[in-house]
């Protein structure tokens, strides 16, 4: 009887000693794992939490921390590949974990802030590259003396960067280029006006000479006057043909602007407003409605050529 009691006592003591020993190792592994996380030694932390699980198979806390560390390693890989949205999503999963220890949640919160900052920097860099590209496109239009199209493009760029402190230099450059476009447009308009006035003067002088040389023949004078009037009308038609060409080119060019800036707007409405803005800058007078028809048709044809339905 004594022997049986002694044997039972020994067995119980052995279990107690083993349990205490296991608890001690478990606690040591858990503590070492958390310290490794704080020191950003995540691979070592995984090993410690795995060892803790060998001491306490299926332990909830060790399992949770082990999973969180695995996700931290995934976050670092996402950051390295600039996949910031995916990294932020993983950080949120860690932050929502229910482990007693907050060591991994603290790391995840820090990594999330880092990702958000890097994401913003990446977006700013991408935006700057787009702005620089658009400015270069405007310059190329100016090189081809397409000053009206360049002016429109610069106007959109200015609208995009206005109010952004990081883009003061770009804004300054665009305003300078815009001034050059306006000066060139005025210069070309004055040149056309001067040429037109010269043509009128030449025609008037020619008509006067013809009249003086043919005073004795009223029928001939009438015929000459009729011819002169036809000549004047031809001059207007020639001038109008040049207008048609310029307006059509502008209409085609605005299709590109629509895809850049007209999102959410019907293409027909965008084209109509674009024509009004352009016509206000360079009034066409009696050709306004005719110009609008040419502009809208050119825009429509160029738009449909992209494979999209015009409406």
DSSP 144: T
Using alpha carbons only, give the angle 37, 39, 42 rounded to the nearest 5 degrees. Answer: 45
| Choice among 102-111, 163-172, 248-257, 275-284 with the minimum mean pLDDT | 275-284
Examine the pLDDT at 307 and tell me if it is beyond 60: yes
Q: Could you tell me the residue ranges of all domains in the chain?
A: 2-127, 144-304
Does the pTM of the predicted model rise above 0.75? Answer: no
**Per-residue pLDDT tens over the stretch 193-219:** 888 777 777 666 555 555 555 555 555
Residue 284, H or E segment: none
pLDDT grade for 301, boundaries at 50, 70 and 90: confident
Q: Determine the Cα–Cα distance for residues 13 and 149; give it in Å rounded to an integer.
A: 93
User: For 278-291, what is the mean pLDDT?
Assistant: 71
> To the nearest whole number, what is the mean pLDDT of the chain?
81
* 150 and 181 Cβ atoms separated by less than 8 Å: yes
Q: Determine the Cα–Cα distance for residues 233 and 228; give it in Å rounded to an integer.
A: 9
**Per-residue pLDDT tens over the stretch 219-254:** 554 444 444 444 444 344 344 576 677 788 888 888
Question: Which one, of 186, 163, 173, 164, lies nearest residue 134 by Cα?
Answer: 173
């Amino acid at each position: 009887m004594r022997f049986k009691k002694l044997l039972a006592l020994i067995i119980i003591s052995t279990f107690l000693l083993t349990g205490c020993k296991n608890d001690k190792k478990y606690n040591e592994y858990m503590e070492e794992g958390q310290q490794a996380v704080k020191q950003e030694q995540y691979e070592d932390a995984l090993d410690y939490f795995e060892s803790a699980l060998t001491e306490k198979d299926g332990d909830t806390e060790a399992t949770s921390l082990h999973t969180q560390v695995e996700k931290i390693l995934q976050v670092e890989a996402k950051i390295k590949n600039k996949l910031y949205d995916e990294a932020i999503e993983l950080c949120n999963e860690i932050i929502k974990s229910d482990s007693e220890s907050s060591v991994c949640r603290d790391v995840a919160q820090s990594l999330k802030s880092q990702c958000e900052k890097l994401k913003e920097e990446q977006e700013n860099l991408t935006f700057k590259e787009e702005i620089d590209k658009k400015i270069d496109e405007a310059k190329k239009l100016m090189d081809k003396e397409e000053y009206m199209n360049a002016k429109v493009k610069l106007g959109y760029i200015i609208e995009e960067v206005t109010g952004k402190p990081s883009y003061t230099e770009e804004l300054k450059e665009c305003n300078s280029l815009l001034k050059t476009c306006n000066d060139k447009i005025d210069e070309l308009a004055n040149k056309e006006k001067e040429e037109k006035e010269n043509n009128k003067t030449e025609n008037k002088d020619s008509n006067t000479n013809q009249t003086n040389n043919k005073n004795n023949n009223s029928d001939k004078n009438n015929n000459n006057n009729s011819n002169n009037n036809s000549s004047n009308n031809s001059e207007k038609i020639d001038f109008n043909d040049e207008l048609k060409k310029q307006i059509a080119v502008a209409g085609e060019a605005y299709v590109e602007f629509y895809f850049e800036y007209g999102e959410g707007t019907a293409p027909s409405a965008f084209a109509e407003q674009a024509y009004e803005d352009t016509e206000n800058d360079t009034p066409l007078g009696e050709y306004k409605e005719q110009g609008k028809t040419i502009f809208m048709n050119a825009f429509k044809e160029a738009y449909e050529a992209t494979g999209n339905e015009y409406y």
